[in-house]
């Protein structure tokens, strides 16, 4: 059972002692490392779970940088996840604590509890939402095989987040990451496999687009189209089919007849799919 009162006090302490934790971290800095984007995270396999690419080291000064102690441990994470956000890290026995501030104002505190030198649990209290996020890390030997997030267990919408599974190859390298519904989040592939898959997807995608266009063009003869809009989702954790929505010529003609010389958005509306019916909207492979 998570003691919410404890984390409320922990956040209050962090909010009240910003300069103390900032100066404590700065006093232990041994070196600084600039990167093109986010490169490090204390959470195990954070990039693989998020489907993101690790940032590269930079020889030039950048807004994103990390400061480490003489043991190579993270002390300060600058602008790696939030604009103007700085995270200060403290190490105490079997506990790692991060305190993140944006322009000096506390954003959140997170604790990582260690078991046998591995992170066994992390607890984050986000004060602005009065919300506690928990992750429990399950190992087989030295390999992380599962992450459990109990706060999502009774919410069907977040079924995919309740558990995350990790699979490894014979050499112990991470092979796949699966979500709670066995959906693939991450796959380690050789360059040749990636190229083969890319070419296969391109070929099948072009064929699917042609088939979708043919379906749209098979509409009744009295209906004419003047343009075709394609809406692409930007959800990282899922794969969605793009939506193809044709603009009707009769709607375009009505817009032209009703033109308002003082309407600054007139030309925008001529190309806006939102002004047209969705009767003939299609997805790839849709009927």
**What strand order describes the sheet that includes 174-178?**
31-34, 65-68, 74-78, 85-92, 95-102, 105-115, 118-126, 131-140, 143-148, 163-168, 174-178, 184-187
Question: What was the pLDDT predicted at 285?
Answer: 62
pLDDT of residue 165: 98
Q: C-alpha distances in angstroms, 121 versus 40, 73, 74, 118, 179?
A: 18, 19, 18, 9, 18
CA distance 175 to 37: 24
Q: What is the dihedral of CA 200, 202, 206, 212, to 10 degrees?
A: 80
Domain of 207 in residue numbering reads as: 192-283
Does some domain include residue 153? no
Q: Are residues 11 and 134 in the same domain?
A: yes
- For the CA atoms of 168, 173, 174, 176, what is the dihedral angle to 10 degrees? -50
- In the predicted model, residues of the chain with pLDDT beneath 50 are 287
pLDDT in tens, 94-116: 999 999 999 999 999 999 999 98
* Structure-token pair, residue 141: 């030997």
Q: What are phi and psi of 23, to 5 degrees?
A: -70, -35
Query: CA–CA distance from 232 to each of 1, 243, 277 (Å)?
Result: 42, 7, 18
The structural domain count of the chain equals: 2
3-state secondary structure of 208: helix
Q: Is residue 255 part of a domain?
A: yes
Residues 6+ apart with CB under 8 A from 184: 176, 177, 178
Same domain for 122 and 203, yes or no, is no
Residue 171 falls inside a structural domain: no
Q: What angle do CA 117, 119, 120 make, to 5 degrees?
A: 110
Domain ends where: 109, 140, 171? Answer: 140
Domain-embedded: residue 211:
yes
The residue whose two tokens read 């489907």 is: 51
| Same domain flag for 35 and 135 | yes
Specify whether 55 is located in the same domain as 133. yes
Residues 196 and 90 in one domain: no
H or E element, residue 21: helix 18-26
Kindly give the pairing relationship between strand 184-187 and strand 95-102: unpaired
Residues 204 and 279 in one domain: yes
Whether residue 107 is found in the same domain as residue 211:
no
**CA separation for the pair 260, 66 (Å, rounded):** 55
118 in the same domain as 36: yes
197 and 134 within one domain: no
- Is residue 8 domain-shared with residue 85, that is, in the same domain? yes
- Which pLDDT does position 235 carry in this prediction? 61
Other beta carbons within 10 angstroms of residue 103's beta carbon come to 10
Domain end residue (candidates: 96, 122, 140): 140
Residues 11 and 135 in one domain: yes
Q: Quick check: is 176 in a domain?
A: no
Residues 134 and 40 in one domain: yes
Final residue of a structural domain among 140, 164, 183:
140
- pLDDT, position 22: 98
Q: Is residue 170 part of a domain?
A: no
């Amino acid at each position: 059972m998570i003691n919410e009162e404890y984390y409320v006090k922990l956040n209050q302490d962090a909010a009240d002692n910003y300069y103390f934790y900032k100066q404590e971290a700065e006093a232990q800095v041994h070196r600084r490392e600039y990167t093109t984007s986010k490169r490090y995270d204390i959470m195990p396999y954070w990039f693989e779970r998020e489907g993101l690419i690790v940032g590269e080291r930079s020889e030039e000064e950048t807004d994103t940088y990390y400061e480490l102690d003489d043991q190579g441990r993270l002390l300060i994470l600058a602008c790696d996840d939030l604009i103007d956000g700085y995270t200060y890290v403290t190490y105490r026995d079997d506990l790692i604590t991060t305190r993140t501030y944006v322009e000096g104002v506390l954003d959140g505190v997170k604790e990582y509890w260690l078991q046998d030198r591995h992170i066994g649990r992390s607890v984050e209290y986000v004060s602005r939402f009065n919300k506690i996020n928990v992750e429990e890390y399950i190992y087989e030997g030295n390999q992380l095989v599962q992450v459990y997030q109990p706060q999502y267990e009774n919410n069907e919408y977040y079924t995919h987040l309740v558990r995350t599974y990790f699979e490894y190859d014979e050499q112990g390298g991470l092979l796949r990451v699966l979500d709670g519904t066995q959906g693939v989040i991450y796959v380690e592939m050789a360059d040749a496999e990636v190229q083969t898959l890319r070419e296969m997807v391109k070929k099948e995608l072009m064929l699917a687009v042609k088939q979708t266009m043919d379906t749209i063009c098979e509409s009744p003869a009295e209906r004419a189209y003047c343009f075709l809009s394609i809406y692409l989702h930007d959800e990282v954790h899922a794969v969605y089919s793009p939506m193809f929505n044709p603009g009707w010529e009769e709607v375009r003609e009505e817009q032209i007849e009703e033109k308002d010389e003082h309407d600054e958005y007139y030309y925008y509306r001529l190309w806006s799919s939102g002004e047209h019916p969705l009767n003939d909207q299609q997805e790839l492979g849709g009927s």
